[in-house]
A and B are shown apart, each in its own frame.
Chain A
Amino acid sequence: MKLPKLLRLSPAAAPYALLLPFFALFAVFGLFPLLFSLWLAFQAWEPTDGLAAMRFVGLGNFAFALQDEWFWKSLKNTAWLAVASGVPQHLVAIPLAVFIHTRLQRLRNVAVGAYFLPYITSTVAISILFASLFSTDFGVVNAVLGRLFGIDAIDWLGQPENIKPAIATVVFWRYVGFNVVLYLAALQTIPKDLYEAATMDGASRWQQFVHITLPGLKPVMYFGVTLSIIGGLQLFEEPFILTGGRGGSDQAGMTTAMYLYRMAFDFNDFGAASAMSWLLFALVVGLTWATHRAFRPKAGQA
């Protein structure tokens, strides 16, 4: 088969041709929109007015965002949810992974599969299901709590103070298995003879866990925690579905990603929404950097 002359590339030109589709798409749908949103953050604009109606407002949108009570509330909600769903993920995933690694031989893949499954399923379908499980009068969650512990029915999705724990539960359930798999992979890279040597020296299991396992998991912990932070700060689908897209009573379930969506598509203020997205992005970058600092090997350590 002879290719047309145009397609007979020289080895020097080939990599550029091969990368062209990716970078062309990325430029149009990734980079340009991003720069555009940065520009938009300094404009006052409603889409119904047409592109010509944009007005430069300097830092006006940022000032508006920082004085907006709801924006601050959404940030607090997001932080609360990120911590309450993120920290337990790792506190459960690490011991669970160690447990599966050391104790489970047969059925190991089945167990890992069960924990991982929620990660690949549709957030919307699952959040809809949880909305029914969390229903006050006849939901499964309240039925189980009532039967086992005699707890009175809790209004999970109606009362402001209960919405966030309900959302955090769903998020935890969805991502804990992903972290288990990360930690399991890391555990396999810790040399067995370290444990053998420690046992010979009379180290207890707890000491081995603290002095061999945890340091061995540190690189993956850094990776996993970073992903949890980035993921936690962009929570959107779970709260969106569980609160019917409105944030729940007293906006207790409104995350910042949800709020900037509403700011743009419900309230038509694209400038302010863009400014908010850049403020949230700055927060993501700041926290990612702080995590990097926290996990950096200290002087004198390997």
Chain B
Amino acid sequence: MTTTDVMPTVGRPMAPWAAYALVGAGALLMLAPFWFMFVFATQSRTEIFSLPPPLWFGDDLPGNLAILTERIPFWRNLGWSLYVALMSTALTLLFCSMGGYAFACFEFRHKNALFAFVLGTMLLPSFMNMIPTFMIMDVLGWIDQPRALYIPGAASAFGIFLMRQFVLSSVPRELIEAARMDGCSELGIYWRIVLPLLRPALGTLGLITFIASWNNFIGPLVVMRSPENYTLPLALRSLQSPVDTEWGALMTGSAIATLPLLVLFALSSRQLIAGLTAGAVK
């Protein structure tokens, strides 16, 4: 799509159907690649690369799956992706809700400086971490270990930020004070009062963390070594070859890797979009 498609917005008013048609055409362009991904997943390599390209589903899904599971330990890779994403989500929710609560409801020395520092780390580009992450994992003996993928990311600055904002807006300070008066311990307040109130924000952060871990490629690329420990993105990439790529199988694998994301998005797009763009508008 080009800018001229949408310029009439500042010209004369246009009919509603034209507005829908323009935005709709753009939206179709955005969605078309997904359509092809799922169509190609059911086509053999020869059919994918024929003219005209297939636009509708074929019957090669079982064949593609057979090739896929023969070339790579696909289900195992899928299992690792799921395991790493769930562990990463659980740890991130725990640590970020703790940190966000601390930043929102306590006064302590250097609080503002520490929070600014946490925010600053969000702007750190991922390439800065690539080499040192490999080295520290090497030193710790975590190379080729799934924990190298979910433990470092649990210290998510974005998560702390999101949680702090939510605590500020929806956890009444009086409630915490009252619990403290009643003799509730500090960790008890966090666990029994703050955490339940954070449920909506935990849902958002959980979704974001799960998706980020599921899609993570650079992390496993740097630390994972053996194909049976690969997560999905790395396993799919290993199927690419300059001479003899099994495109049908590769598309089936890509479609299976994409499907959970589409389901999650269909169920929670508004929550996800709001969470991912949090902080843009103060």
Residues in A lying within 8 Å of B, measured CB to CB: 1, 3, 7-19, 21-23, 25-26, 28-30, 32-34, 36-37, 40, 47, 51, 88, 91-92, 95-96, 98-100, 102-104, 107, 109-126, 128-133, 135, 137-140, 143, 147, 173, 176-178, 181-182, 185-186, 189, 205-206, 208-209, 220, 223-224, 230, 233-234, 236-237, 240-241, 244-245, 256-257, 260-261, 264-265, 270, 273-274, 277, 280-281, 284, 288
Contacts and interface: CB of A to CB of B under 8 A. Distances in A.
A40 B133 CA distance: 13
Contacts of B172: none
Nearest to B156: A22
A246 B7 CA distance: 40
A244 B6 contact: no
A146 B99 CA distance: 56
B65 interface: no
Contacts of A257: 125-127, 130
B60 to A, nearest CB: 15
Interface in B3-20: 3, 6-7, 9-12, 14, 16, 19-20
By secondary structure, the A interface counts as: helix
B165 interface: no
B240 A244 contact: yes
B254 A129 contact: yes
Nearest to A183: B280
What band does the interface of chain B fall in when counting residues whose beta carbon is under 8 Å from A?
35 or more
Interface stretch (B47-55, B72-80, B198-206): B47-55
A90 to B, nearest CB: 10
Contacts of A135: 49
Nearest to B159: A22
A237 B240 CA distance: 14
Contacts of A236: 126-127, 218
A102 B273 CA distance: 20
